[in-house]
Chain A
């Protein structure tokens, strides 16, 4: 297994509260991604990072922010959680050389916003 750890694995929170999800990698891969998975939608990219302090928006970035202060850590923050953000969140990593599309995924975080 690729060395990707997501924390927490499960979280229940209330509408309006801030939430931070953490992704930690031990592979020294350049690229890191946050996806959300919802029934009928597959995976949708929220934000991604192409290096320390270098991030960009994905398809569904509204209501989310990210930070990457170290190569190994990529944080996803919901500033004020809403029920529409109830989802399973996956972190992924990839390299830029060779198999750049070979994404390695973490085990996911199940987030419920009540």
Chain B
């Protein structure tokens, strides 16, 4: 069975500050890991994904995440927050042996607020 835990339902940072959103996973097989972003009144968009290649994954809008097997973590970071980064962020895990996205498990989400 797989699961994902996002630490902190709400994170607030100042504009220009480091963004760190935490995600820990549990998986009985080497997982695929994802971060999705949801802007207000929109559906989710894929931000980045880890599929067993490089452990440091770069995504859109300056975000990146590092897969750390020893810590079972996949934290999302961005060096300098912009006002436009305000959104809800979802970490997700899946089993690579399945051919559909039916086994993607989403975390409960972290709402990121940016202070001027």
A101-B34, A107-B41 in contact; A33/B94 too (CB < 8 A)? Answer: no
User: Hey, what's the 0/1 contact readout for B19-50 against A, CB within 8 Å counting as 1?
Assistant: 00000000000001010100001111110010
B101 at the binding interface (Cβ < 8 Å): yes
Q: Tally of A-B residue pairs with Cβ under 8 A?
A: 64
Interface size class of A (residues with CB under 8 A): 20 to 34
Asked if residues B108 and A42 are in contact (CB atoms below 8 Å), the reply is yes
**Could you say which of A42, A96, A108 contacts B106, with CB atoms under 8 Å apart?**
A42
A28 to chain B, nearest CB (A): 16
Q: Please name all residues of chain A whose beta carbon is closer than 8 Å to the beta carbon of B106 when the two chains form the complex.
A: 42-44
B74 at the binding interface (Cβ < 8 Å): no
- State the main secondary structure of chain B at its contact with A: mixed
Q: List 28 A-B contacts (CB under 8 A).
A: A31-B100, A31-B101, A31-B102, A33-B101, A40-B9, A40-B108, A41-B108, A42-B90, A42-B106, A42-B107, A42-B109, A44-B106, A45-B104, A48-B100, A58-B102, A90-B44, A92-B101, A94-B100, A96-B99, A96-B100, A101-B34, A101-B49, A101-B94, A101-B101, A101-B104, A103-B36, A103-B44, A103-B104
Q: A residues touching B (Cβ–Cβ < 8 Å)?
A: 4, 31, 33, 40-45, 48, 50, 56, 58, 90, 92, 94, 96, 100-108
